[in-house]
Amino acid sequence: ENIKQPLAHSLIFSSHNTYLIGEQVMGVSMATAYSRAIEMGCRCLEIDCWDGGWADHYEPIVTHGHAACSTIRAREAISAIAACYEALPPALRTPLILSLEMHCTIPQQAKLAAMFREILGEALMLPTDGQLRSPAHLMGRILLKGRVLAANHAAFKSSGYAAPPADMATPPRGPSRSESDPTTHSSRSVADARAQCGGC
């Protein structure tokens, strides 16, 4: 009730696999699912980030890995989030947390970081002194949640990319997506998808 307490003292209405419409193995990924979640009051949304392909012009995608779900471009998801959040009345613009499940390689993480800065603009809350502010202090701000690689991590040195200070999450886990059109639906069978997904 007291929005002047630190954010960690708050109960936050959260969404898991926010981008999915339907079930987790054969569901459809949609950018509008983020808008719907925000309008329903969710203030912690999940973004599962994967490589969109190996060529330089490809950008990260959002999908449920090791399943037969469709994909959306990360840029579309972030844009939908930004537009819906900005359209809320100021009193409802309580801090919004984007929980990143990061599977991207370092070059694609760098693209994703640049995307967040470009699309979210001034709403993006960058780290300051490491203190977790209160919801009152964070009204109208969007926070990224995820593990951060140190700026001197070997992955950055080997990639040739500079390390963004706050927008990087975990090193890649699992296989990257192929260089096919990132918006196409996987042709994997349901049985194969369920086996790889471990029954999730």
Q: Identify whether the C-beta of residue 139 lies closer than 8 Å to the C-beta of residue 95.
A: yes
* Tokens found for residue 136: 């009152």
- CA dist 190 and 46 (Å) reads 24
Cβ 75 vs Cβ 23: under 8 Å? no
Active site residues: 16, 64
Q: Which residues, other chains included, contact 120 with Cβ-Cβ below 8 Å and sequence gap of 6+?
A: 78, 81, 82, 142
Distance CA 94, CA 3 (A): 9
Q: How far is CA 101 from CA 51, 61, 64, 116, 168, in A?
A: 12, 12, 10, 15, 11
Which amino acid is it at 29? S
Nearest by Cα to 49 from 80, 68, 77: 77
